[in-house]
């Protein structure tokens, strides 16, 4: 049996496939699995023995509609699959799975719960939605492979990925202060104030994480945090993950670093603004109280977005501005996280 699994973006969503694929490999070791994803995400799966990766080239050979036909042909050349698992359900995957359907290959597709999410954002229903990991499991169940997602760390990077020493005499805290969209980002001065409060009370070293486009901002933040280290731009993804596994704690916005740290088995405190764990994108296997946000009962416009796009309709960004560094620090103390 050969399953072709497709998930090419976004970074956090690709990372969230790991507890599902690990569980699938353990329960069904005789199944051949090919995962179609981007080359950058390959380090997520380095420990998945037997998993085959097909790394797409959307900037070159597989670019555009013509490129999707080439991608289909390339995948067939690697071995015709018995079932397609579409964990993405975007235009590219619709075209690709359509080509497989024409050839008679059965397809199972993720139900993203778009209507439920619209109702949540519109304020009609504030119930917690199914987590993305569970939605992935549903797709495999539809294909006839019922699984329970893996517990514990599901991203196991190479131990040789980095040789940067960690001190055992301090608390090593990862910090991911930025996000792709403004509605998911705490004010920078708030984060600096929080970290300064922590540093005044504890022996700590901060490891600053972010995207390549955030490196300059992280370097400026580093100047306010003596002894901190900017990880972004200095290491590849495999090295970043290896460093991450050695952290005592990660403090993050709703971002891919939040997901990666949790999947590496690290304790994660996440800070939420316009988005909310209710939407199904919460930190995997972390206590709900570790997701710090203004309660929806107190600020009924929350959540106002699924992915963080858009602008604050109130105009005062209350969901983040009300969440002061002092409040977050008090949460960390009361939860005995520090």
- Mean pLDDT over the full length of the chain: 96
Q: pLDDT per residue over 177-225, tens digit each?
A: 999 999 999 999 999 999 999 999 999 999 999 998 999 999 999 999 9
Q: pTM of the prediction?
A: 0.96
Q: Is the pLDDT of residue 161 over 70?
A: no
pLDDT of residue 164: 78
Domains defined along the chain, listed by start: 2-142 (3.40.50.2000), 171-334 (3.40.50.2000)
Q: pLDDT per residue over 52-107, tens digit each?
A: 999 999 999 999 999 999 999 999 999 999 999 999 999 999 999 999 999 999 99
pLDDT of residue 162: 66
Secondary structure in 3-state letters for the chain = CEEEEECCCCHHHHHCCHHHHHHHHHHCCCCEEEEEECHHHHHHHCCCCCCEEEECCCCCCCCHHHHHHHHHHHHHHHCCCCEEEECCCCHHHHHHHHHHHHCCCCEEECCCCHHHHHHHHCCCCCCCCCCHHHHHHHHHHHCCCCCCCCCCCCCCCCCCCCCCCCCCCCEEEEEECCCCCHHHCCCHHHHHHHHHHHHHHCCEEEEECCCHHHHHHHHHHHHCCCCCEECCCCCCHHHHHHHHCCCCEEEEECCHHHHHHHHCCCCEEEECCCCCHHHCCCCCCCCHHHEECCCCCCCCCCCCCCCCCCCCCCCCCHHHHCCCHHHHHHHHHHCCCC
């Amino acid at each position: 049996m050969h399953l072709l699994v497709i998930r090419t973006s976004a970074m956090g969503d690709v990372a969230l496939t790991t507890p599902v694929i690990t569980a699938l490999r353990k329960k069904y070791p005789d199944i051949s699995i090919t995962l179609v994803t981007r080359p950058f995400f390959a380090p997520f799966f380095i420990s998945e023995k037997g998993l085959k990766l097909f790394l797409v080239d959307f900037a070159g050979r597989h670019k555009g509609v013509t490129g999707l036909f080439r991608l289909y042909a390339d995948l067939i050349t690697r071995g015709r699959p018995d079932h397609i698992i579409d964990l993405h359900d975007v235009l590219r995957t619709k075209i690709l799975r359509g080509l497989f359907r024409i050839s008679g290959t059965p397809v199972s597709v993720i139900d993203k719960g778009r209507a439920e999410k619209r109702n949540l954002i519109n304020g009609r229903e504030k119930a917690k939605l199914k987590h993305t990991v569970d939605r992935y499991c549903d797709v495999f169940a539809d294909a006839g492979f019922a699984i329970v997602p893996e517990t514990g760390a599901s991203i196991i990077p190479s131990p040789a990925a980095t040789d940067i020493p960690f001190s055992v005499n301090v608390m090593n805290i990862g910090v991911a202060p930025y996000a792709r969209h403004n509605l998911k980002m705490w004010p920078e001065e708030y984060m600096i104030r929080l970290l300064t409060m922590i540093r005044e009370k504890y022996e700590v070293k901060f490891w600053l994480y972010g995207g390549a486009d955030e490196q300059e901002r992280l370097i400026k933040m580093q100047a306010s945090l003596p002894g901190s280290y900017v990880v972004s731009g200095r290491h590849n993804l495999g090295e970043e993950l290896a460093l991450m596994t050695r952290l005592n704690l990660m403090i993050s916005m709703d971002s891919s670093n939040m997901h990666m740290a949790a999947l590496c088995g690290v304790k994660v405190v996440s800070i939420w603004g316009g988005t909310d764990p209710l939407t199904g994108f919460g930190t995997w296997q972390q206590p709900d109280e570790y997701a710090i946000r203004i309660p929806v009962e107190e600020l009924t416009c929350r959540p106002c977005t699924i992915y963080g796009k858009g602008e604050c309709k109130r105009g005062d960004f209350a969901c983040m501005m009300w969440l002061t560094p002092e409040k977050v620090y008090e949460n960390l103390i009361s939860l005995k996280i520090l």
